[in-house]
A and B are shown apart, each in its own frame.
Chain A
Amino acid sequence: MTDNPAPANSRKKLIIGSAAAVGIAAIALVVFVLPAEYGKDPTGLGAALGITKLAPTEEENIYLKRGLARSNVLLPLQESATPDETTLKATLAEHNIAQLPGTNVRTDRYVVELAPYEGIELKYDMAEGASMIFKWTATAPVHVDMHSHPFEGGAELTESFVIEDSVPSQTAVYVAPFTGIHGWYWQNRNLDGVTVTLETTGQVTAARTFSSGAEQPRPLTDEAPANAGAPTTAP
């Protein structure tokens, strides 16, 4: 059913035209599109014309830029580290950080199953200078955004410390840079369900989850990480 009355061009016109299309496309790609979209600049012309400046970089995320500007907030640990009080204290001492006095150390365990493309956010209430050790693992790599924002000023002042697309686990000590909520957004970008298990020990006072925009308080389990085995049964 070739009912398209397109005129047939001569062989010569077709060849010259198609070659020109490929040539112009190649030039446009190499000089403009690739430098602007991916920061790839094989000819150097992209930089000369100021096009590479358009390329998105990780640091261009304003939240991540703020978060990464801080030091002694996230102290990464070996994956094998146990998220208990001993390790927390040892890590803080190692970095010459004094533990915030007068705040109880509590433990928590959170297990969540994420359907494909489902995301959830877990946040802890922490005072400025409060610290916690945490370890989370996922049964398959997930997208994660570890971030926090102060109570005063709200989400506008969000700071991210890690934004990555495919992470299987994270173990670290976190020292709250301000009084507010601190935690993770996990999103399952796999085609199968994923279970994320989080264990924490630290000076947290409350927990809450955000799922599809709805905020829900969540009681801390006070389950010691050493004998942690059964999944959380939050009432």
Chain B
Amino acid sequence: MSATDADSRQLIANRAPKTPALRQTNPLAAAPASVLMLMLLALALLTPAGAALAHDISEADRAAVASIVGPAPFAFFYLGAKHMVTGIDHVLFLIGVVFFLYRLRDVIIYVSMFTIGHSLTLLGGVLLNTGANAYIVDAIIGFSVVYKAFENLGGFRRLGMNINTRAAVLVFGLFHGLGLATKVRDLGLSDDGLLTNLISFNVGVEAGQVFVLAIVVTLLNIWRTKRSFASGAYYANLALMTGGFILIGYQLTGYFAS
């Protein structure tokens, strides 16, 4: 749908101004933000996992997984897809990421960055048994929604900050993966068939992501052709930001209450 002639022409037309834009980007300008993100990541990893693990996976799923021994690729594929599709935090972030991406190529690039990020920490987190506090990780995931919405509003440019948006999506992808890893470990996976089940879960996450994106990108493409998009984009991103703030508050309250 998006690979129309108009899009291809736009693609070629956009190549020209892109190169100078690349030059303008001072790699050092993104450094403080990256350092901040890495510090947040370290903080999340150092916070004791402990009792906060037991939330967000339904009791029924937990009981089902407890009865699984050995490889069960389809069961875990489904759980991964279900978690992505029903996880409002991931969905809001994805909406934010693709909001202004009207070229399929850009959608693929950004979503790949996100996928690389969350797959790294999902696989790594479970296999290395790295502990992270679920509330803190989920609060940072909420923050990623606020960040993306603010960026979509042109907030960082207004503040004079030049953030590498692709790197930011990658780094926030790492946090989303850490959140996924915590959910998987909360399921109480048995060591028998761990790798198969984990990879199946990861593949399921990607399938769920494609499903969500197909709907979101289609709806956005329809909306983009309407006049209401220009003014509506402002309110839509404010709504995303509000959702992100609610997620942060929800998770932080959980953290301090536990």
Q: Which residues of A approach B to under 8 Å, CB–CB? A: 1-11, 13-14, 17-18, 20-22, 24-26, 28-29, 33-34, 37-38, 40, 115-119, 143, 165-166, 187, 189-191, 212-214
Contacts and interface: CB of A to CB of B under 8 A. Distances in A.
Given A25-B246, A165-B51, A5 B100 contact: yes
Interface string B139-169: 0000000100111111101100011111100
Contacts of B164: 1-2
A112 to B, nearest CB: 15
Nearest to A25: B245
B253 A2 contact: no
Q: Which of B100, B164, B185, B238 has the most CB of A within 10 A?
A: B238
A8 to B, nearest CB: 3
Contacts of A22: 245
B150 A28 contact: no
A67 B246 CA distance: 37
A8 B150 CA distance: 10
Given A6-B153, A117-B188, A28 B257 contact: no
Contacts of B157: 2, 6, 8
Interface stretch (B65-73, B75-83, B201-209, B215-223): B65-73
Given A14-B154, A117-B188, A21 B238 contact: yes
A17 B237 CA distance: 9
Contacts of A189: 49-51, 53-54
A81 B191 CA distance: 37
Contacts of B214: none
Interface of B: 18, 21-22, 25, 49-51, 53-54, 66-69, 99-101, 106, 129, 131, 146, 149-155, 157-158, 162-167, 185, 188-192, 230, 233-234, 238-239, 241-246, 249-250, 253-254, 257
A6 B257 contact: no
Given A115-B191, A214-B69, A29 B153 contact: no
Given A9-B234, A119-B66, A212-B69, A4 B100 contact: yes
B153 A9 contact: yes
B158 A11 contact: yes
A24 B188 contact: no
B190 A212 contact: yes
A189 B186 CA distance: 9
Contacts of B101: 4
28 contacts: A2-B162, A2-B163, A3-B106, A4-B100, A4-B151, A4-B165, A6-B153, A9-B153, A13-B234, A17-B153, A18-B241, A20-B242, A21-B239, A21-B245, A25-B243, A25-B245, A25-B249, A26-B249, A29-B245, A29-B249, A33-B246, A33-B249, A34-B250, A37-B253, A115-B191, A116-B129, A189-B49, A189-B53
Given A9-B234, A18-B155, A29-B249, A2 B242 contact: no
B257 A38 contact: yes
B154 A9 contact: yes
A8 B190 contact: no
Contacts of B239: 21
Given A2-B21, A7-B233, A28-B246, A21 B67 contact: no
